[in-house]
Amino acid sequence: MKKPNRRKRFPLTRSQKCVVALALLVLTLGLANLVRAGMALRYAALLPNLPMTVPWVYLAAIGGFWGAAFIACAVGLVRFRPWGRWGTLTATTLYEAHAWANHLLFDVSDYARQTRPRDLLLTALLLAVVWGLLNWPSIRKEFKQ
């Protein structure tokens, strides 16, 4: 009779729990962007002649790209890979820079301009959480191999 192959599971440290929580946040960003890509494709089919500042294809492609990037980063974080840490720092920063470039170049409504202070606060909060957690000394040690 064969014994089941059971690996020993060690409880996660506090630092590892923080990384897993951050990975869930990054995964949520990735899934939200994939949903955004799907919605852009759906609206493109439903409203093909709607005048817009950017085409539906652009919105779908960007949502798909950032969705895939964030999901890959979440996998790297959960597996405690060094590339997961650096990838998350890079992807989050570039994502926010891209979002702000889109805001400044393509927002045409008054409502979009009115929400900029809130958006700036949320951007600063996300970047502070990601950069703060991933540069915390005890968390940086988790990614050393």
**Is position 10 within any domain?**
no
Residue 117 counted as domain residue? yes
Q: For residue 5, is it within any domain? A: no
What domain range is 82 assigned to? 15-142
Residue 92's pLDDT band, with cuts at 50, 70 and 90, is very high
* Domain-embedded: residue 8: no
**Number of structural domains, the chain?**
1
- As a whole number of Å, the end-to-end CA separation of the chain is 38
- Residue at 98: amino acid letter: H
Can you give the pTM of this predicted structure?
Answer: 0.88
* Res. 13: pLDDT tops 80: yes
24: nearest Cα among 77, 63, 65: 77
- Please report which confidence band the pLDDT of residue 141 belongs to, taking 50, 70 and 90 as the band edges: very high
Q: Residues 12, 24, 76, 69: what is their CA dihedral angle, to the nearest 10 degrees?
A: 180
